[in-house]
Amino acid sequence: MSTPPPVIQIDGLHKAYGALEVLKGVSLSAPRGHVISLIGSSGSGKSTLLRCCNLLEDSQQGDILFKGEPLTWKGTGHDRRPSDAEQVLRIRTNLSMVFQQFNLWAHMTILQNVMEAPLTVLRRDRAEVEKAARGYLDKVGIGDKCDVYPAQLSGGQQQRAAIARALCMEPEALLFDEPTSALDPELEQEVVKVIKDLATEGRTMIIVTHDMKLAADVSDQVIFLHQGLIEEQGSPDVLFGAPKSERLRGFLSATL
């Protein structure tokens, strides 16, 4: 049996904001069921890379493949844009993002937040979506919070609601951008537990995190970004246990 193509693959990606080069030729590949952690100093390009993966940002050069299917482009350089809107929608809905600041809709209940995109973007059946949404909220431990508004929840509960919302899209992969950075330490752990459970289930995930313990515990592969380039990558054992690069050693000693 041949191995399936990676859920997401990036080859030689370049991304600039105007004259500021943020990604300078980055490649990564997330096989199904793998967890990849992205680590690096503030400003190294981690969020930009994640946002390029699900096409929230344009890029000027390099390939993006979803399950082996290359994204098609029109134009080049700063004029380059995806050429197929359906393909963009397919990729974006299959790579669900969880943000540092939760980004829940304040005027909707928790249940409505989780149901919104499957109903409006995927046009799925309301009764089915509601059943699934309640199931995912149970799974992240806030099944009793369906009818309250985000402001009534703690940060940890809001982030778990955001994870349920991402799961309710039934995506091929989950992308986390510093999911625990906005949380107090005791609330951080409830979100870490949910992420660990998802890793154990075999979910494909890319996690930008400053939490080296989380990265060490859940990752198949850790990528250390430095100024828009991959400085070092490997298994957590090797990367944390025997880092080769001077910069990574410096980063780790400043972080731990």
Residues lying near ligand ADP in the complex (CB under 6 A) are found at 17, 20, 22, 40, 42-48
SS3 227: coil
Query: Which residue's beta carbon is nearest to the bound Mg ion?
Result: 47
Structure tokens that stand for 227 in this block: 């100024």
Cβ-based neighbours of 79, under 8 Å, separated by 6 or more: none
Judge contact between 152 and 72, C-beta under 8 A: no
Q: What is the closest distance, in whole angstroms, from the C-beta atom of residue 13 to ligand ADP in the complex?
A: 12
Per partner kind, with CB cut-offs from 5 to 8 A, the member of Mg ion, ligand ADP, none near residue 44 is ligand ADP
| DSSP β-ladder status, 221-226 and 229-234 | antiparallel
Residue 1 or 20: which CB sits closer to ligand ADP? 20
Q: What is the closest distance, in whole angstroms, from the C-beta atom of residue 55 to Mg ion in the complex?
A: 17
Q: In this structure, which amino acid lies at residue 4?
A: P
Judge contact between 5 and 67, C-beta under 8 A: yes
Q: What is the closest distance, in whole angstroms, from the C-beta atom of residue 123 to Mg ion in the complex?
A: 32
Give the separation between CA 158 and CA 76, rounded to whole angstroms.
40
Give the separation between CA 216 and CA 239, rounded to whole angstroms.
9
* Rg over CA atoms, the chain: 18
Per partner kind, with CB cut-offs from 5 to 8 A, the member of Mg ion, ligand ADP, none near residue 39 is none
Per partner kind, with CB cut-offs from 5 to 8 A, the member of ligand ADP, Mg ion, none near residue 37 is none
Q: What is the closest distance, in whole angstroms, from the C-beta atom of residue 219 to Mg ion in the complex?
A: 18
Alpha helix (H) residue ranges in 45-84: 46-53
Q: For residues 29-88, which are near Mg ion according to CB under 5 A?
A: 47
Residue 47 or 219: which CB sits closer to Mg ion? 47
Q: What is the closest distance, in whole angstroms, from the C-beta atom of residue 47 to Mg ion in the complex?
A: 3
Cβ-based neighbours of 12, under 8 Å, separated by 6 or more: 25, 26, 27, 61, 62, 63
Q: What is the closest distance, in whole angstroms, from the C-beta atom of residue 179 to ligand ADP in the complex?
A: 13
Per partner kind, with CB cut-offs from 5 to 8 A, the member of Mg ion, ligand ADP, none near residue 85 is none
Angle at 191 between CA 243 and CA 199, to 5 degrees: 60
Residue 47 or 59: which CB sits closer to Mg ion? 47
Applying CB under 5 A, does 204 fall inside the site for Mg ion? no
Residue 48 or 159: which CB sits closer to ligand ADP? 48
Per partner kind, with CB cut-offs from 5 to 8 A, the member of Mg ion, ligand ADP, none near residue 17 is ligand ADP
**β-sheet bridge partners, residue 222:** 37, 234
Q: Which residues sit at the interface with Mg ion, rule CB under 5 A? A: 47
